[in-house]
Amino acid sequence: MGAAHHYGTYCKTKNDAFMQCRIEGNDPRKCLQEGKESKGSCNEVFTEHWTCLDYNNQEHNRCRKTQKSFDSCMNEKLNLKRDS
């Protein structure tokens, strides 16, 4: 949920390729390359954000600081702005 705003825009093609590989091969281990390509450039701040959400029962108001860091990284490195 923490990356949903960005994930849908940036990772759709890569995620679709991973899911197609996984479905066709019935073995996700054969699709590791597609999965690695989906990680992106902001993994550290993304991990901080989803961890905050996880520990706070998905209460976004408690994780605005990590959300801001993640959104800034996505904007800076991938030129993706968060939709409201």
What pLDDT band is residue 5 in, cutting at 50, 70 and 90? low
Token pair recorded at residue 33 = 């390359």
Q: Total structural domains in the chain? A: 1
In a domain, 84, yes or no: no
The predicted structure's pLDDT at residue 35:
53
Domain coverage including residue 61: 4-78
Helices (H), 1-84: 4-10, 12-25, 32-37, 43-55, 64-78
What proportion of the chain, given as a percentage, has pLDDT over 70? 76
Looking at 9-18, 34-43, 55-64, 73-82, which range is the least confident one?
34-43
Note if the pTM is more than 0.75: no
Token pair recorded at residue 6 = 């960005």
